Structure 1
């Protein structure tokens, strides 16, 4: 048998409705089968912390093989997986259609689903995943919540660490008093009637993070599209379910998928494109839901339509540039950019669209301002992994995994630090702060679309 597969990876649906999916003996047998292949290969040794933990278990076992590793220790491997999908998409030579049929992330998902059904999700983690409720409640007292969750507030953060297991040093998202949906309704940007993309219509899926924590990303994206003639609307029916997926709560993810897909059906019927503002959410709408929502589910057709209609924001701007051309007005910016390509952007198999977008900003040859030569792209995991990276016991590991990215940001010494994933961007900034506090203070951490809007003077 040849080493690895030459075909493109094929993702099989997650068979979560099958009773065998939750059979612990069958799960253990499958984990041993997969882990034995991983142990014999070890290509993923530097990808995340799951694989070093697995290889350490084997190397320290009496036989130095998997047969003497106790099943109870497998949880250490599972706990370190952030479901980034990079092993499946970029490293593993044994993914389907190879006969070994390895899908490491979905195996970790299965383990978590079994544990969630058997034991439930830990209370503190469960509360963190309720992003819609948290955003609505925290928005009403945003200044108080932001004060309490600031890393400089040693009293409240130590209490949170003790009660909720959230590391006192981990930066947490801030909340806004007015959501992106509310701001877009109250003050929509004027659409340029002669913009090159006039005639296009798009609706933003606000995402829980942009809607409740960073509306500026959405406002920047909406202003760029309006300047280019795109008529836009904004909607946010519910979270995409990624926080619940990380905890193995597949039924909740499927419920959210149906709700969101039904909500966007009326826009798709009217010819609107759907734009997700965070790559994790775009990945869920484009691909992940298709692996989870059963083919006989009443909302399956709506989920499939939404998948075909969805764009990542950078992908959409680049599409306009390639098909209609961009509206004039882009100007060089002072300083360069260190751009982190988020794992869930890479998992969309669309190329480095954020980098392509930023390369559209013209370069001032005399001033040496931002252009292609001043853009440094880093394509490696930040280590954050959503809610995983802020938990006590995980935060320091997350910084360790993301250290190569932070080191590149220090080395490049650019003015802007950008990541398509806002959580990853802030995590990288914290990594830079550990390595070079002065450099961290000089960096402006933004989403790539905010930098592009700034180049437009919006």
Structure 2
């Protein structure tokens, strides 16, 4: 048998309604089959903490083989997986169509689904996954919540660490009383009817993070598209379900997929493209939902249609640049940018669209574009991993995994540090603070689309 596959990866649907999917004996047999292949290969040793944990289990077993590893210890491997998909998409030579048929992330998802059905999800974690409820409630008392969750508030963060297991040193997102949906409704940007992309229509899928935690990203994106002549609207029927996916609650994710797909389907009917503002959410709409929603589900057609109509925000701006050309007005932003390419942006198989977008910014008055000296691209895991990286026991490991990214950002000494994933951006900055507090204080940490809007003077 050949070593590795030469074909492009092919992902199979997740057969989560099959009774065998939740059979613990069958799951254990599949875990051992896959882990044995991983143990013999070890190409993924530096991707995340799952693989070092697996290899340590095998190396420290009495037989130094998987046969003497206790199945209960597999939980440590599963807990470290952040469902980033990088092993499947970039490292593993044994993914389908190879006969070994490995899909490590979806195997970790299966384990979590079995565990969630058997013992449930811990209460504190379950409460964190309720992003829409949390966003609505926290927004009503945003100043109080932001004060209580600040890392400088030792008393309240100590309580959160004890009660909820959230590391007291982990920086948490801020909340806003006025969401992106509210701001876009009350103060929409002026449409440039002479913009090169006039005639395009785009509806922003606000995402829970941009809507409740960082409306500035959405406002920047909306202003860029309006300046280029794109008629925009904002819709937010609910969270994409990524927090529930991380906990193995597949049925809840499918329910959310149907709700969002039906709502956004009305916009697609009216000729709107769908633009997602956070890569994890774009990945859910484009790729994860079609693998999770069964073929006979009543919302299957709507989910497939939404998948085809969805763009990541950087992808959409680059698409305008390539097809219609961008509106004039971009100006240099001195100091350079360190850009972290988020794993869930890479998993969309669209190329480095944020880097392509930022290279459209002139580096000087003569109009030369950003080159390698001005835009430093880092394509490596930040270590954050969604809700995983903020938990007690994980936070220091998350910083360790992301240390090469933080070290590169310190070395680059650029004015801006940017990540397509806002949570990763904050995490990288925390890593920089531990390496070089003065350098970290000197950088401006923004989303790439905010930098692009600033280059337009918007």
Q: Could you say which TM-score interval applies, normalised by the shorter chain?
A: over 0.9
CA displacement 1:277-313 (0-9 Å, x = unmatched): 0000000000000000000000000000100000000
For 1:184, the equivalent position in structure 2 comes to 184
Q: 2:403 & 2:365 partners in 1: Cα distance?
A: 33
Deviates more, 1:361-370 or 1:101-110: 361-370
Q: 2:52 & 2:16 partners in 1: Cα distance?
A: 28
Q: 2:58 & 2:382 partners in 1: Cα distance?
A: 26
1:367 CA drift (Å): 12
1:369 CA drift (Å): 10
CA displacement 1:253-282 (0-9 Å, x = unmatched): 000000000001111011100000000000
The residue matched to 2:339 in structure 1 has which SS? strand
For 2:347, the equivalent position in structure 1 comes to 347
CA displacement 1:89-129 (0-9 Å, x = unmatched): 00000000000000000000000000000000001100000
Matched, 1:398 2:401: no
For 1:196, the equivalent position in structure 2 comes to 196
Equivalent pair of 2:338/2:378 in contact (CA under 8 Å):
yes
Relative to structure 1, is the Cα distance of residues 202 and 369 closer, same or farther in structure 2, using a 3 angstrom cutoff? closer
Alignment length (residue pairs): 458
Q: 1:332 & 1:365 partners in 2: Cα distance?
A: 7
User: After superposition, where does 1:311-350 map in structure 2 within 5 Å?
Assistant: 311-350=311-350
For 1:449, the equivalent position in structure 2 comes to 449
CA displacement 1:296-340 (0-9 Å, x = unmatched): 000000000100000000000000000000000000012110000
Equivalent pair of 1:361/1:371 in contact (CA under 8 Å):
no
CA displacement 1:22-48 (0-9 Å, x = unmatched): 000000000000000000000000010
Q: 1:145 & 1:357 partners in 2: Cα distance?
A: 35
CA displacement 1:161-214 (0-9 Å, x = unmatched): 000000000000000010000000000011100000000000000000000000
Matched, 1:416 2:416: yes
For 2:75, the equivalent position in structure 1 comes to 75
1:149 CA drift (Å): 0.1
Equivalent pair of 2:334/2:363 in contact (CA under 8 Å):
no
Q: 2:231 & 2:366 partners in 1: Cα distance?
A: 37
Q: 1:72 & 1:20 partners in 2: Cα distance?
A: 20
Matched, 1:232 2:232: yes
Q: 2:310 & 2:133 partners in 1: Cα distance?
A: 25
User: After superposition, where does 1:122-201 map in structure 2 within 5 Å?
Assistant: 122-201=122-201
Equivalent pair of 1:109/1:248 in contact (CA under 8 Å):
yes
Matched, 1:360 2:387: no
Q: 1:443 & 1:390 partners in 2: Cα distance?
A: 23
The residue matched to 1:418 in structure 2 has which SS? strand
Q: 1:72 & 1:26 partners in 2: Cα distance?
A: 15
1:431 CA drift (Å): 0.4
Equivalent pair of 2:336/2:374 in contact (CA under 8 Å):
yes
Q: 2:277 & 2:246 partners in 1: Cα distance?
A: 20
Equivalent pair of 1:334/1:369 in contact (CA under 8 Å):
no
Q: 1:98 & 1:262 partners in 2: Cα distance?
A: 36
1:370 CA drift (Å): 5.8
CA displacement 1:406-449 (0-9 Å, x = unmatched): 01001101010100000000000000001000011001110000
Equivalent pair of 1:335/1:370 in contact (CA under 8 Å):
no
CA displacement 1:347-368 (0-9 Å, x = unmatched): 0000000000000001117899
Q: 1:344 & 1:188 partners in 2: Cα distance?
A: 29
Equivalent pair of 1:336/1:371 in contact (CA under 8 Å):
no
Q: 1:160 & 1:285 partners in 2: Cα distance?
A: 32
Superposition TM-score, scaled by structure 2 size? 0.99
Superposition TM-score, scaled by structure 1 size? 0.99
Q: 1:173 & 1:344 partners in 2: Cα distance?
A: 19
Q: 1:313 & 1:366 partners in 2: Cα distance?
A: 28
Relative to structure 1, is the Cα distance of residues 369 and 349 closer, same or farther in structure 2, using a 3 angstrom cutoff? closer
Relative to structure 1, is the Cα distance of residues 368 and 269 closer, same or farther in structure 2, using a 3 angstrom cutoff? closer
For 2:61, the equivalent position in structure 1 comes to 61
For 1:26, the equivalent position in structure 2 comes to 26
Q: 1:79 & 1:397 partners in 2: Cα distance?
A: 12
Q: 2:102 & 2:205 partners in 1: Cα distance?
A: 32
Q: 1:451 & 1:131 partners in 2: Cα distance?
A: 27
Equivalent pair of 1:335/1:369 in contact (CA under 8 Å):
no
Equivalent pair of 2:109/2:245 in contact (CA under 8 Å):
yes
For 2:292, the equivalent position in structure 1 comes to 292
Equivalent pair of 2:264/2:306 in contact (CA under 8 Å):
yes
Q: 1:282 & 1:366 partners in 2: Cα distance?
A: 36
Equivalent pair of 2:331/2:365 in contact (CA under 8 Å):
no
The residue matched to 2:445 in structure 1 has which SS? strand
Q: 2:28 & 2:368 partners in 1: Cα distance?
A: 58
